[in-house]
Amino acid sequence: MARTALYTGTFDPVTNGHLDVIRRACRLVDRLVIAIGVHSAKTPVFSAEERAAMLEEVCAPVSAETGAAIEVVTFSDLAVAAARRAGATIILRGLRDGTDFDYEMPMAAMNETMAPEVETVFLPASPEVRFITATLVRQIAAMGGDIGGFVPPLVAERLRAKFAAR
């Protein structure tokens, strides 16, 4: 039986930290569904379609390297509902620090109550990317700073173009 996991986030933009979690997740599962959260309260820099395209492009080598199938979808409802639609029995969450852990634990408990058949698995970020946040990457990019060490080259290029157009 194939093991499928769901990895949720806004991925605005996808960072090297996200890719670290994706690489590590692909070593644990046969199929990884990356679910882009689309919420009306948020105003992302990139559209859901742009984020999906970037994820598909930067994740293709990871899929080839690990042998895990990677699929990118969007969702605007509960993560457990997205997990059920994807046939996932695991929700993966990346953790950078204790603050992330404190935020994620109650959510994992709520998800378990709503969908006991779906396990939440926490993956700690690797030390070299632990400090990266999409929020800080967006702020640095908006101010014309060098984001090359924080995101894949394709993403850095698209961020520069996005902010140059503003």
CATH of domain 4-130: 3.40.50.620
Residue 26: what pLDDT? 97
Q: Where are the domains of the chain?
A: 4-130
Biggest alpha carbon–alpha carbon distance for the chain = 48
pLDDT band at residue 165, thresholds of 50, 70 and 90?
confident
Peptide bond just before 106 cis, omega within 30 deg: no
Q: How confident is the model over 110-163, as pLDDT tens digits?
A: 999 999 999 999 999 999 999 999 999 999 999 999 999 999 999 999 999 998
Dihedral pair phi/psi, residue 7, rounded to 5°: -120, 110
Q: How far apart are CA 126 and CA 94, in angstroms?
A: 10
User: Percent of the chain beyond pLDDT 70?
Assistant: 99
At position 86, the amino acid (one-letter code) is A
- Return the residue matching tokens 């992330």: 100
